[in-house]
Amino acid sequence: MSNTLLPKLYKTMKRIRTFEERVSELFIKGESAGTMLHLSIGEELGPACVGTAMQENDTFTTHHRGHGIFVARGGDPNRMLAEIAGKKDGYCKGKGGSMHIADMTLGHLGANAIVGGGIPTVVGAAMSYKYLKQERVSVAFFGDGAMQQGILYESMNMASLWKLPVVFCCINNQYGMGTKIENAVGVKDFSKRAESFGLNTLHVNDLDVESAYHKSKEIIDSARKFKPGFIEIECYRFYGHARMDKSPYRDESEESEKRKLDPISFASNQMIKNNILDEADIKKIDNDIMIEMDKAMEFAINSPINDETEIFKDVYSENDPLPVSLDEKINKILNN
């Protein structure tokens, strides 16, 4: 147990959760850009185990519920929260917001607001790595809902056909918005689908993050050797679909039952039971994280808003003129 990764994994999960709580507060304070904020509270195990099993140069795309993965891959909470607030210091200058948050220098090839939209991206990224002889794996993270997007199967087939260093990672939180998985799929065994396309598969359905880490690492390592893989992490979305949703479509009893399956308290109990860390150690970790995230909050709130000219930037390359504003267009016609 001496070289256990559990503290590291715990810390990652706790950072994710604390971050998401701050996102929620940001909203309550009226400081978030809109309400389309999809929190991964309860779903931290997947980002932590897969995110940690990836290597430094590996890349990834995420779905709309991607804050957690980004945190696990080194996203800076300051710039993340600033982005979610729609501010100038945000990763995307506040133009992308929660659903498009990304840091390309960290290999984050983009969060996507289109369910399934970021999946083929990793196929193309992996084509590049293979062609350029870079030892990198690209991982697509998406929800169980995206298992019903056809583009996933097109992508799986390409990955299998071309033997690409790709992993498809489904964070199955049992719901697509208000629709329970049973009402969205004919057969729940997603691994079978992936297998039929020739992928290595892993199905994680417990709370042991360290074991999930090791198994995920095997899948990712195989992918690096050109055997693409599929990972499904079962979990439960503790709260509503987006910040405004109170989940009236599901039982409170189901919720309270399922919220007991908390990967974070499970990991903390594991550490205590196995004498890896004691309660005080854990409190220290938690406290440091709280301080970190409080600072991020402050950073985001204090970050300035953008100048309106920002609307016109980043549409075309820097060498191209900015698109002409409506105001200029109209005045030119009127002054003709």
Partner 1 sequence: MSDLNKNYFEKITYRDALRLAMHDAMQEDKNIIIMGEDVANYGGAYGATKDLLKLFGKERVIDTPISEPAIVGAAVGAAMSGLRPVAELMYVDFFGMSMDQIANQLAKIRYMFGGQISAPMVLRTQGGTGRSGGAQHSQSLESWIMHTPGLFLSMPAKPNDAYHLLRHALKIDNPTIFIEHKLLYNTTGTLDKNDIGAPFGKANILRKGKDVSIISYSRMINYAEKAAEILEKENISAEVIDLRTLYPLDRETIITSVNKTKRALVLSESYYTSSVPSEITSIIFENCYKVLKKPVIRYTAEDTPVPVAPNLEKNYIPTIEKIVEYTKKVCN
Interface contacts to ligand TPP, rule CB under 6 A: 38, 63-65, 113-115, 143-146, 173, 175-177, 237, 241
77 close to 89: Cβ distance less than 8 angstroms: no
Query: Which has the closest alpha carbon to 190: 157, 227, 159, 232?
Result: 232
- Locate 297 and state its tokens: 């909050």
Residues 133-172 that bind a second copy (CB under 8 A): 148-154, 156-161
Site string for Mg ion, 172-211 (x = CB under 5 A): -x-xx-----------------------------------
Work out whether the CA dihedral 206, 207, 208, 211 comes out positive or negative.
positive
Determine if 232 is a binding residue for Mg ion (CB under 5 A).
no
Pick the closer one to ligand TPP by CB: 94 or 145.
145
Residue 149: CB minimum distance to ligand TPP, A: 7
- Neighbour tally for 45: CB within 10 Å: 31
Determine if 234 is a binding residue for Mg ion (CB under 5 A).
no
Residue 117: CB minimum distance to partner 1, A: 6
82 close to 90: Cβ distance less than 8 angstroms: yes
40: Cα separation from own chain's centroid: 8
Determine if 196 is a binding residue for a second copy (CB under 8 A).
yes
Residues 99-158 that bind Mg ion (CB under 5 A): 143-144
**Candidate list 148, 205, 211, 287; residue touching partner 1; CB under 8 A:** 148
198 contact choice in Mg ion, partner 1, a second copy, none (CB below 5 to 8 Å, kind-dependent)? a second copy
Determine if 252 is a binding residue for partner 1 (CB under 8 A).
no
Residue 70: CB minimum distance to a second copy, A: 27
Strands 229-234 and 200-204: parallel
Detail the DSSP E strand segments found in 223-331.
229-234
Pick the closer one to partner 1 by CB: 74 or 323.
323
Determine if 20 is a binding residue for Mg ion (CB under 5 A).
no
In degrees, rounded to 5, the angle at the alpha carbon of residue 142 between the alpha carbons of residues 206 and 313 is 145
225-236 in b/e form (b: 16+ CB < 10 A) is eebbbbbbbbbb
Q: Which stretch binds partner 1 (CB under 8 A): 67-75, 148-156, 203-211, 286-294?
A: 148-156
Residue 68: CB minimum distance to ligand TPP, A: 10
**Candidate list 2, 131, 132, 187; residue touching a second copy; CB under 8 A:** 187
Residues 81-140 that bind partner 1 (CB under 8 A): 86-87, 90-97, 99-100, 102-104, 109-110, 112-129, 131-132, 138
Place of tokens 């987006």: 242
d(CA 250, CA 241): 12
Determine if 33 is a binding residue for partner 1 (CB under 8 A).
yes
Determine if 182 is a binding residue for partner 1 (CB under 8 A).
no
Coil/strand/helix, residue 167? strand
Residue 241: CB minimum distance to Mg ion, A: 8
d(CA 310, CA 328): 16
Pick the closer one to ligand TPP by CB: 63 or 193.
63
Q: Which stretch binds a second copy (CB under 8 A): 10-18, 186-194, 209-217, 278-286?
A: 186-194
Alpha-carbon distance values, 93 to 48, 83, 110, 246, 313 (Å): 27, 7, 14, 30, 11
The DSSP code for 305 is P
Residue 173: CB minimum distance to ligand TPP, A: 5
Coil/strand/helix, residue 208? coil
d(CA 127, CA 153): 17
Q: Contact positions toward Mg ion, by CB under 5 A?
A: 143-144, 173, 175-176
